[in-house]
């Protein structure tokens, strides 16, 4: 079974993401499933970034270290990753950097410089790239130096272009050399390049020449490599998409008509995707449900996040199917408006792409630290729907579901996502995200309310008929109000309206099926029950398979809805398991806190990752085994560069 993982690293702005995406496309065309994850700095240019690619016959759920190959396009990448390669794997590096020292690399973090110098000195090696390469070789890694500057001259000569105009092909050179060593034929590499730069002939030509030059050099130095066999999916129609892409697709096919946002990592790419595809052609049924003559989304970049959610609420009141997208710091600014949407019973979808906090924290790094923030957002009694997606395809369908829930129950819906989903790309069979399955439910939206319309009419289920602003006289206010919307402080009416909103929440809790609120995987009465939420799902499922192969009876409980919460079902599952272990990427164990609040059951053991890098399946396996062996309550894992 093919299972390859490799890293391509280099300076931010050096085409690292493009190289990673070329690799993804190449392996998909060769018949494999892929997962690619981008790790990058919060500055714009220069500092180290890297792209991890995992290739399998089945869909990978996790990237991991150590890897089978590191392609280091600069000295900093060597120093960052020289210990991340499996014995027998490859370290490709720029042979022109062998004398580079950590202390001379301005972009390299000081703590990393110190760790590298201390490690190499402890091995009796000089603190240079040459020393790091020797350390890798001593560990059983095959190191190959690529004369990238000389190869650039070859590309310039063959393409008849100035050296400066082909300098950006260095990423393609390193990648092509690496792919060839992994058994990928040059013809496939060329197909990947053409797919990545489709329609850009002036870009394709020098990159093809760069690939040819790099592969020729490796053949001369290393010899011919046995070809990797074509994978079982060759010829199947597939797409490669990130979580940002798929959430945006869900909004498109789910009938979104207004999206607002203020740029913030890692949510911005979702809004930018919608801007590029705002005229997506909806089906006739969808246009009829939305009251549209033709497709089209209004995308508005607001001056800040408070304005963004205010615009979305205003658009929804006027009858639009509206959403906004943000991350933790931006969501903080939306709290007052969330309460207003609850009081005015206005449907709005808020996509929250979590990252590592607190404050601005680590803007481009992974974290699951906003669960409690979203649950308790807003002031006063403020129930709202909160759901968390565990993988890319789930995120797509959850987006459609969230739009429907918001309008059906006339409430804010907070869709929790995270940086790992945003930045990682997977291969998908086209039928897995079938637009024809998207059903648009607008709830009790009425076009002709008639005389005597009451926007907040008291009903048995707490849900009132909703008319568009402008179609009939109505009052919408964040103050307490009567059925007609006029402000009141009457104690009897206050009780009636509070009871109305409570009944609506009871309706929400009752009507969302239990099987949608959580998912269970693995053994029915396991020795170990892993409990988690969000993008850790796909990593834990890979770890679960490995644990079961190692003889550990394991189950996995994925919490999907945190509000309304499946309290009875979770309590029952916790009671039937042996040892329960919470797995989260936050310090406060926020999901465990919620579970304890609803069930009274404290989860004693936890596996935690806090360093802002992705959780790896190998770390989950390690954490479970360590807890079983030592009884530790808290295992902190910290892989990743």
Q: Is 601 exposed, middle or buried (0-12, 13-18, 19+ CB in 10 A)?
A: middle
The mean per-residue pLDDT over the stretch 613-641 comes to 96
The whole-angstrom separation of Cα 214 and Cα 456 is: 69
pLDDT at site 147: 97
The mean per-residue pLDDT over the stretch 493-497 comes to 98
Q: Taking a C-beta distance cutoff of 8 angstroms, is the pair 195, 23 a contact?
A: no
pLDDT at site 44: 67
The mean per-residue pLDDT over the stretch 582-602 comes to 97
pLDDT at site 24: 98
Q: What percent of the chain has pLDDT over 70?
A: 100
The mean per-residue pLDDT over the stretch 554-570 comes to 98
Q: What is the pLDDT of residues 29-60, one digit of tens each?
A: 999 999 999 999 887 677 899 999 999 999 99
pLDDT at residue 287 greater than cutoff 90: no
pLDDT at residue 601 greater than cutoff 80: yes
Q: Is 248 exposed, middle or buried (0-12, 13-18, 19+ CB in 10 A)?
A: buried
The whole-angstrom separation of Cα 344 and Cα 600 is: 33
Query: Closest Cα partner for 183 from 146, 222, 226?
Result: 226
With tokens 């070809």, the residue in question is 227
Q: Taking a C-beta distance cutoff of 8 angstroms, is the pair 34, 89 a contact?
A: no
Q: Taking a C-beta distance cutoff of 8 angstroms, is the pair 92, 151 a contact?
A: no
List of residues 6+ apart from 118 with CB closer than 8 A: none
Q: Which carries the bigger pLDDT value, residue 282 or residue 209?
A: 209
Q: Is 119 exposed, middle or buried (0-12, 13-18, 19+ CB in 10 A)?
A: middle
What's the token pair of residue 625? Answer: 């085994």
pLDDT at site 567: 97
The mean per-residue pLDDT over the stretch 108-117 comes to 96
pLDDT-based confidence at 295, cuts 50/70/90? confident
The mean per-residue pLDDT over the stretch 137-162 comes to 96
The mean per-residue pLDDT over the stretch 279-294 comes to 83
Is CATH 1.20.120.80 the right assignment for the domain spanning 516-637? Answer: no
pLDDT at residue 130 greater than cutoff 80: yes
The mean of the pLDDT values for the chain is: 96
With tokens 């070859």, the residue in question is 154
Sorted by where each begins, the domain ranges of the chain are 3-222, 241-437, 445-511, 516-637
DSSP letter for each residue of 413-434: EEEEEEHHHHHEEEEEEGGGG-
> How distant is the alpha carbon of residue 27 from its chain centre?
21
pLDDT at residue 631 greater than cutoff 90: yes
pLDDT at site 430: 87
CATH number for 3-222: choose from 3.90.1150.10, 3.40.920.10, 3.90.226.30, 3.40.50.300. Answer: 3.40.920.10
Q: Which carries the bigger pLDDT value, residue 41 or residue 617?
A: 617
Q: Let me know if the fold of 241-437 is the same as that of 516-637.
A: yes
What's the token pair of residue 9? Answer: 């690293």
DSSP state of 356: B
The mean per-residue pLDDT over the stretch 381-403 comes to 97
pLDDT at residue 293 greater than cutoff 80: no
Q: Which carries the bigger pLDDT value, residue 281 or residue 457?
A: 457
pLDDT at residue 593 greater than cutoff 90: yes
pLDDT at site 448: 87
pTM: 0.96
What's the token pair of residue 564? Answer: 């309304």
Residue 229's alpha-carbon distances to 35, 232, 456, 537, in angstroms, are 19, 9, 64, 30
Q: What is the pLDDT of residues 456-472, one digit of tens each?
A: 999 999 999 999 999 99
Topology classification of domain 241-437? Rossmann fold (3.40.50)
Q: Taking a C-beta distance cutoff of 8 angstroms, is the pair 418, 355 a contact?
A: yes
């Amino acid at each position: 079974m093919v299972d390859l993982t490799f890293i391509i690293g280099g300076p931010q702005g050096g085409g690292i993401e493009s190289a990673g995406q070329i690799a993804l496309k190449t392996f998909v065309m060769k018949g494999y499933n892929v997962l690619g994850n981008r790790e990058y700095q919060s500055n714009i240019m220069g500092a180290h970034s890297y792209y991890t690619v995992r290739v399998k016959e089945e869909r990978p759920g996790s990237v991991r270290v150590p890897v089978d190959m590191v392609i280091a396009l600069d000295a900093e990448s060597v120093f960052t990753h020289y210990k991340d390669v499996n014995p027998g794997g490859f370290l490709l590096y720029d042979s022109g950097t062998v004398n580079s020292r950590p202390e001379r690399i301005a972009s390299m973090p000081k703590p990393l410089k110190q760790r590298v110098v201390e490690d190499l000195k402890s091995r009796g090696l000089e603190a240079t790239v040459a020393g790091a390469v020797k350390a890798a070789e001593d560990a059983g890694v095959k190191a190959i130096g690529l004369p990238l500057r000389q190869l650039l001259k070859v590309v310039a000569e063959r393409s008849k272009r100035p050296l400066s105009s082909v300098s950006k092909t260095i990423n393609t050179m390193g990648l092509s050399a690496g792919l060839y060593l992994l058994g990928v034929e040059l013809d496939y590499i060329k197909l990947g390049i053409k797919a990545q730069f489709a329609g850009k002939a002036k870009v394709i030509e020098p990159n093809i020449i760069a690939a040819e030059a790099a592969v020729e050099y490796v053949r001369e130095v290393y010899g011919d490599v046995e070809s990797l066999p074509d994978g079982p999916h060759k010829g199947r129609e597939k797409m490669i998409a990130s979580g940002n892409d798929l959430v945006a697709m869900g909004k498109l096919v789910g009938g979104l008509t207004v999206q607002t946002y203020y740029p913030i990592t890692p949510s911005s790419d979702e809004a930018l995707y919608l801007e590029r595809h705002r005229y997506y052609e909806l089906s006739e049924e969808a246009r009829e449900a939305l009251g549209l003559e033709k497709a089209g989304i209004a995308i508005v970049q607001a001056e800040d996040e408070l304005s963004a959610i205010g615009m979305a609420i205003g658009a929804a009141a006027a009858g639009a199917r509206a959403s906004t997208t943000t991350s933790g710091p931006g969501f903080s600014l939306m709290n007052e408006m969330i309460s207003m949407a609850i009081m005015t019973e206005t449907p709005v979808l808020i996509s929250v792409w979590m990252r590592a906090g607190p404050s601005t924290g680590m803007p481009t790094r992974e974290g699951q630290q906003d669960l409690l923030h979203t649950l308790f957002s807003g002031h006063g009694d403020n129930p709202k729907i909160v759901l968390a997606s565990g993988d890319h395809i789930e995120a797509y369908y959850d987006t459609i579901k969230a739009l429907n829930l918001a309008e059906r129950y006339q409430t804010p819906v907070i869709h929790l996502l995270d940086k790992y989903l945003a930045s990682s790309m997977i291969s998908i069979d086209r039928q897995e995200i079938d637009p024809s399955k998207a059903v648009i439910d607008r709830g009790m939206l009425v076009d002709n309310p008639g005389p005597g319309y009451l926007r907040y009419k008291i009903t048995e289920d707490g849900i009132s008929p909703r008319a568009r602003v402008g179609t009939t006289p109505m009052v919408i206010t964040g103050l307490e109000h009567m059925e007609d919307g006029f402000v009141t402080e009457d104690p009897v009416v206050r009780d009636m309206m509070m009871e109305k909103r409570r009944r609506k929440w009871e309706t929400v809790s009752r009507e969302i099926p239990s099987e949608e609120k959580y998912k269970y995987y693995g053994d029915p009465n396991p020795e170990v029950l892993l409990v988690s939420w969000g993008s850790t799902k796909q990593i834990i499922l890979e770890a679960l398979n490995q644990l079961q192969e190692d003889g550990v009876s394991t189950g996995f409980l994925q919490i999907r809805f945190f509000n309304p919460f499946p309290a009875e079902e979770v309590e029952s599952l916790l009671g039937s398991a042996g040892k329960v272990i919470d797995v989260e990427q936050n310090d406060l164990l926020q999901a465990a806190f919620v579970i304890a609040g609803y069930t009274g059951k404290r989860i004693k053991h936890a596996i935690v990752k806090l360093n802002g890098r992705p959780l790896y399946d190998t770390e989950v396996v390690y954490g479970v085994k360590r807890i079983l062996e030592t009884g530790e309550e808290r295992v902190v894992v910290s892989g990743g560069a």
